Structure 1
Amino acid sequence: MRVALLAESFLPHMNGVTGSVLHVLRHLAAEGHETLVIAPRAGEITTDLHGARTELLRSTPLPSYPEVRIVFARAARLTAILREFRPDVVHLASPFVLGWQGLAAADALRVPAVAVYQTDVVAYAQKYGMPQAAVLVGRHVARLHRRATLTLAPSTASLQQLEDLGVDRLRRWGRGVDTARFGPERRSDTWRTRVAPGSTIVGYVGRLAPEKQVEDLAALAGIDGTRLVIVGDGPARPALERALPDAVFTGHLTGGALAEALASFDVFVHPGESETFGQTIQEALASGVPVVATGVGGPVDLVRSSVDGWLYRPGDLHDLRARVADLAGDEGKRRAFAVAARDSVRDRSWDAVCRQLVCHYEDARMLRPLDDAQRRRAGIRPSSPSAVSALRPRWSRYVALGDSLTEGLCDTSRMPAGQYRGWADRLAQLLAHEATGPAPFRYANLAVRSRRVRHLTAEQLPLALAMRPDLVSILMGANDLVGRRVDIAGLATELEASVRALRDAGIDVLLVTPFLPHRRAAVLFERRFAVFASELRRIAAGTGAMLLDLDAIPAIGDLDLWASDRVHLRSRGHRFLAYRAAERLGVRDAEALGGLDAALHADDDPVAHGTWLSRDVLPWAWRRLRGRTAGDGVAPKHSGYVVIGGGGEVRSRSRTT
């Protein structure tokens, strides 16, 4: 793969953006990918760029922070640079000015763009005394990230911030930590004696700038036996030296010197409230140092309060002081927290994180042609499931509507002969696990194979309304879309009427877009499915229904998720779909649970006898000639409610509504 990385800041100025770009370059080179870096020219570069080509552009220093440089490059020039390199994907590292022009260039070449959100520039504008500019900055950030093919954000707080700005296509992508460099073994008594002899060291590492709120550490003055050590540099250093006269300022440290300093702290403290992630927090944890950080933004995902550190109430400096004093005065607690801290980052290597990044690149490459097609049709582009949902499962009655996919055909995993499980059954079990309150969790599945939208309206909808559920899922339309003639607008209108009837009854609705396997024959129907999916996006937006937009999850078409009949999902595919739906509905840790489920279960795809032609195609054609369907005479498998226990087991059947 050929990857062009546009970095808003770069060497020789080292910060979180530059550091992550260097790690990405190393990993991509090791995996055989070609890279190009487009960035501001700011000085001589002596760091190993792992074979990357560079295009360093003339830049202007930011007046209030000269280490940060701004590139005002025309989109036409960036287009020419990218056209010559021929990238498969454009990676925008913390895009703002250069990144906006890079997006225009990527669009001109129809290349997917992955925007990596790393800097909360809205909060920075406020910290630098420009509250009115913050509104304009927020609008720019929203437009930029909505235009990108995918946006990657490092924490639940940053994902929520972008969602609030109206950004879609969000995926979570954290940061790795170099556990070979940062570790408890780097602790140095010599360093401690030189810097703060005989003291319990409370340390901070980071840029010295207003947005980091280092001045809040004045609240720690006078804690018995402690010494504050500040590692870093920046425009706020002179003011901080006056505000913190008893602190030790080491200046900027890198490499082994930084690792030694971090490991030699007794407590790491991080007061900044505008962190999208908090890389130095990860490095402190890797060094076996307990952390005290503000309970907002990126630190919330990194620090396990009362396990490997404390999260204090944002803005409450009395609470900050109390948390630091608690650890400074209890060596045994510090040791226990230190062990947990080191353990918490064991699986966060840069190699693992960069492998995830390459998967995001591949998703973007599959999404870009879909976006271009939607633009040509003036449709609505596919939207990823909510990356951080404000929802939490609160439902106690769930009814699934649909056709053979929701009935569960070909998912025979741990089922008696002739019976099927399916994604909706699996989702019901996940929701039952999450359900709270005294009411038992009830589930019904009214889906029947071969059903079409008209059957949803005439048969399934009235039954569902009579059962008074609080959640209904609808995956319907594929059988209509593969017919000889189809009125997509008419189908959407009929489906919308069903959704509105459910919403008017106070029922939450999860709409799922129909999808196709990545097979050559599926190309015949791609346009129909894309137009119908665009209609479902419009319906969801107009009715307040939740949407699981599978066009934005290209992996659903991977052939290893599909059964031998080539038209239904196998057990692995039903698991995949169930966990994507659970993620959309706010089930906690749905992605992690899905990975665990896949690891624990062998795929029970049944042995297929006979050829595909004789086994699947000819029976289907014979039914069509006779005007029949596979669903004739088939009743829903759960036409009334079944009660699912907290462990996911079906306990009893209930016909009550």
Structure 2
Amino acid sequence: MRVALLAESFLPHMNGVTGSVLHVLRHLAAQGHETLVIAPRAGEFTADLHGARTELLRSVPLPSYPDVRVVFARAARLTAILREFRPDVVHLASPFVLGWQGLAAADALRIPAVAVYQTDVIAYAEKYGMPQASALVGRHVSRLHRRATLTLAPSTASLHQLEGLGVDRLRRWGRGVDTERFGPERRSDAWRARVAPGQTVVGYVGRLAPEKQVADLAALAGIEGTRLVVVGDGPARPGLEAALPDAVFTGHLSGSALAEALASFDVFVHPGESETFGQTIQEALASGVPVVATGVGGPLDLVRSSVDGWLYRPGDLRDLRARVADLAGDDGKRRAFGAAARESVRDRTWDAVCRRLVEHYDEARMLRPIDDALVQRGATRPAMPATATGQPRPWGRYVALGDSLTEGLCDASRMPPGQYRGWADRLAQLLAHARDEREPFRYANLAVRSRRVEHVLHEQLPRALALRPDLVSVLIGANDLVGRRADPVRLAAALEQGIATLRAAGIDVLLVTPFLPRRRAARIFARRFAVYASELRRIAAATGAILLDLDALPAIGDLDLWADDKVHLRSRGHRFLAYRAAEALGVPDAEALAGLDAALHADDDPMPVGSWLGRDALPWVWRRLRGRTAGDGLLPKHDDYSEIGGRGDVRERSRVS
């Protein structure tokens, strides 16, 4: 793979963005990938770039912070550079100015772009006394990341921040830590004797700039037996030296000198409230040093309060002082917290993190041609399934609405003759097993083959409301869209009323976009399906429905997931759809369960009898000519609730309770 990395800052200025780019270069080189770095030219450096080509562009220093440089490169120049390199993906490291132009160049060449969110520039605008600019900055950040093929954010807090700005296509991608460089064995009695003889060392490492709030550490003055040590440099250093007269300022440290200093701390403290991640926190944990950090932003994912450190209330400097004093005065607690700290980062190596990054690159490469095709059809790009965090909601009553796909037609796996399972039945089992409650899970399936949107609205929806569920799935529209005069926009508008009715009743809705097999004959309907899916994305955003956007999962079109009748899913396809729905609903370990399920069912579909023409095509044509459908006279297979117990056993119920 060929990867072009555009970085807003680069060597010789060392910060979190530069450090992560260097680690990514090392990993990509080790895996045999070719790389190009496009970044500001800021001076000479001797660091190993692991074979990467470089295009260092003329830049100007930021007046208030000369170490930060801004590139004003034209998109045409970047387009020419990228065209010559021919990358498979463009990696935008903390994009803002250069990153925006890089996006324009990637779009011109139709190259997927992965934007890595690393700097909370909105908070920085406020910290630097420009609150009036923060709204403008926020709009720019929103536009930039919505335009990227995929956005990677390092923490739960940054994911929520970007979601609040309307950014879609979010994935969580943290930072690795060098556990060989940073470790408890680096602790140096000689360093401690030189810097703070006989004292408990409370240390900070990071850039000395207003947004880091290092001045808050004045609250630690006078804690008995302690010495504050500040490692780092930046524009705020002169003021901080005046505000913290008893502190030791070491200046910037790197490499083994930084590792020695960190391991020699007794307590690491980090007061910044605008951290998207907090790499130095992770390095302190790797060094076996307990951490006291503010309870907001990136530290929330790194520090386990009362296990390997403390999170104090943001802005509460008395709480900060109390937490530091607690650890400074208790050797045993520091040792216990330190051991837990080291253990917490054992699996966060840069190799593991960068392997995950390459997977995100592959995901973006898959999505870019889909996006381009949908734009040509007048539709919006598909929404990636959300990254599930925590347990799913404790749903206890689930009702499925739809047509033959939700009824389960052609999924005869381990079923008596003439009966079908289907993705919704499988999803109900997964939701039942994910519950902690002792009460059984209740499930109804009102779907009937050949049904259209109007049937769902006038037949299935009233029955669903009478069942008083807390979750309803809706997969409908395919039978309408293959009609002669189908209008996908009007069709979606009608369905929207039904979704709004369910949401107004306090019911969660899983809205699934219809899909097509990857067959030449299906292409004549592709634009209708794309526009309809685009409208469903709008409806999900407007109503708060949970969207399973199958345009973002092109594997659903693979022919080995489709039955021999060429219009329904086989058992393998129903399993695929069920587990993707489970992921969208936050079922833990859905992907791993899907792999296990697939291994147990190599091919359990019975062979069909007869030819496709006589078995499927001609009966369909005959029904159409007579104005009939395959669902005429059929009732839903689960018109009332069935109970699914803790072991997956299903019992029919005769009434709603």
TM-score using structure 1 length:
0.90
Per the alignment, do residues 622 and 143 of structure 1 end up closer, same or farther by CA in structure 2, a change over 3 Å counting? same
Aligned to 1:36: 36
- The aligned counterpart of 1:607 is 603
Please report how far the alpha carbon of residue 524 of structure 1 lies from its aligned counterpart in structure 2 after TM superposition: 5.3
Question: Which residues of 2 match residues 453-468 of structure 1 at below 5 A?
Answer: 453-468=453-468
For structure 1, the 5+ residue unaligned runs are none
CA distance in 2, matches of 1:245, 1:560: 71
Secondary structure at 1:603 match in 2: helix
The equivalent residue for 1:330 is 330
- Residue in 2 that maps onto 1:209: 209
Q: Distance in 1 between matches of 2:613 and 2:308?
A: 59
Tell me if structure 2 keeps the 8 A contact 1:564–1:608.
no
Query: Which secondary structure state, in structure 1, belongs to the residue aligned with residue 599 of structure 2?
Result: coil
Q: Which residue of 1 aligns with 2:112?
A: 112
Q: Is the aligned partner of 1:621 residue 2:617? A: yes
User: Distance between the aligned counterparts of 2:63 and 2:231, measured in 1?
Assistant: 24
Superposed, which structure 2 residues align to 1:404-415 within 5 Å? Answer: 404-408=404-408
- State yes or no: 1:269 paired with 2:275: no
What aligned pairs does 1:143-542 form with structure 2 within 5 A after superposition?
143-387=143-387, 393=393, 395-408=395-408, 422-428=422-428, 431-432=431-432, 441-449=441-449, 451-481=451-481, 486-516=486-516, 523=523, 525-542=525-542
Matched residues in 1 for 2:565 and 2:256: separation? 58
Report the Cα offset of residue 451 of structure 1.
4.2
C-alpha separation between the residues in 2 aligned to 1:214 and 1:608? 63
Question: What does the per-residue CA deviation read over 1:191-241, in whole Å, with 9 as the maximum and x for residues that have no partner?
Answer: 222222222222211111111111111212222322222111111111111
8 Å contact 1:641–1:653 — kept in the other structure?
A: yes
In terms of mean alpha carbon deviation, does 548-557 or 286-295 score higher? 548-557
Report the CA distance between 1:313 and its aligned residue: 0.9
| Partner SS, residue 528 of structure 1 | helix
Higher deviation after alignment, 561-570 or 210-219: 561-570
Distance in 2 (alpha carbons) for counterparts of 1:609 and 1:651: 25
- Counterpart residue type for residue 474 of structure 1: V
Deviation digits for residues 150-181 of structure 1, max 9, x if unmatched? 11111111111111111112111111112222
Give the C-alpha shift of residue 623 in structure 1. 3.7
AA in 2 matched with 1:213: Q
Distance 2:212 2:525 in 1: 53
Aligned in 2, Cα 1:554/1:377: closer, same or farther, shift over 3 Å?
Answer: closer
Residue 497 of structure 1 deviates from its aligned partner by 4.1
What is the deviation of 1:334? Answer: 2.1
Please report how far the alpha carbon of residue 417 of structure 1 lies from its aligned counterpart in structure 2 after TM superposition.
Answer: 8.4
| Distance of 1:30 and 1:563 partners within structure 2 | 43
Q: 1:445-477 CA deviation, whole Å, 9 max, x = no partner?
A: 223455443442454223212212232111123
After superposition, give the CA deviation of every residue in 1:390-413 in whole Å (9 maximum; x if it has no partner): 997264432111234434567688
Change in CA separation of 1:499 and 1:320 when aligned onto 2, cut-off 3 Å: same
CA deviations on 1:371-406 (whole Å, 9 max, x unpaired) are 223333433222233447899726443211123443
Counterpart CA distance in 2 for 1:213 and 1:561 is 55
More off after superposition, 418-427 vs 62-71 = 418-427
| Residue 68 in structure 1 maps to residue 68 in structure 2 | yes
The answer to whether the Cα contact below 8 Å between 2:414 and 2:604 also exists between their aligned partners in 1 is: no
**Aligned mates of 1:243, 1:325 — CA distance in 2:** 20
How far does residue 414 in structure 1 lie from its aligned partner after superposition?
8.3
Distance 1:313 1:518, change over 3 A: farther
Q: Which one is further off, 385-394 or 199-208?
A: 385-394
| RMSD after superposition | 3.3
How far residue 276 of structure 1 moved from its aligned partner, in angstroms, is 0.4
Pairwise CA distance, 1:425: 4.0
Cα gap change, 1:438 to 1:485, in 2 (>3 Å): same
1: CA distance, partners of 2:310 / 2:600:
45
Offset of 1:123 from its aligned partner?
0.3
> Given the alignment of the two structures, is residue 593 of structure 1 paired with residue 597 of structure 2, yes or no?
no
Q: Residues 156 and 388 of structure 1 are in contact (CA less than 8 Å); yes or no, is this contact kept in structure 2?
A: no
In structure 1, distance between residues paired with 2:317 and 2:414: 55
* Secondary structure of the structure 1 residue equivalent to 2:551: helix
Cα offset, 1:15, TM superposition: 0.7
Equivalent residue letter for 1:47: A
Aligned counterparts of 2:614 and 2:30: Cα–Cα separation in 1: 49
Is the 8 Å Cα contact of residues 116 and 152 (structure 1) preserved in structure 2? Answer: yes
Taking structure 2 as the reference length, the TM-score comes to 0.90
SS at match of 1:473: strand
Q: CA, structure 1 residues 189+598, in 2 after alignment: closer, same or farther (shift >3 Å)? A: farther
**Change over 3 Å in CA distance of 1:629–1:19 after alignment to 2:** farther
**1:605 aligned partner, one-letter code:** H
Q: Which moved more, 1:126-135 or 1:345-354?
A: 345-354
Instruction: Give the structure 2 partner of residue 136 of structure 1.
Output: 136
Deviations 1:259-305 (A, max 9, x none): 22222222211111000011111111122222111110011111111
Kindly state the Cα deviation for residue 547 of structure 1 after the two structures are TM-superposed: 2.1
Aligned residues: 653
Pair 1:449–1:301, CA change in 2 (3 A): farther
In 2: Cα distance, 1:487 partner to 1:340 partner: 60
Percent of pairs identical after alignment?
Answer: 79
The letter of the residue matching 1:8 is E
Is this contact kept in 2: 1:643–1:654, CA < 8 A? no
Q: 1:561 to 1:293 in 2, by over 3 A?
A: farther
User: Residue type matched to 1:280 in 2?
Assistant: T
How far apart, in 2, do the equivalents of 1:371 and 1:469 lie?
35
Moved more, 433-442 or 636-645: 433-442
CA separation in 2, counterparts of 1:599 and 1:106? 35
Give how far 1:308 is off: 1.6
Map of 2:8 onto structure 1: 8
Amino acid of the structure 1 residue aligned with 2:28: L
Letter in 1 for 2:615: P
Paired letter, 2:142: A
Higher mean alpha-carbon deviation, 458-467 vs 602-611, is at: 602-611
Q: 1:625 to 1:83 in 2, by over 3 A?
A: same
Q: Which runs of 5+ in 2 are unaligned?
A: none
Structure 2 residue identity aligned to 1:527:
R
Measure the CA separation in 1 of the matches of 2:560 and 2:347. Answer: 27
Contact 1:429 1:649 in 2 (8 A): no
Contact 2:87 2:111 survives alignment (8 Å): yes
C-alpha contact 2:378 2:531 (8 A) present in aligned 1? no
- 2:125 alignment partner in structure 1: 125
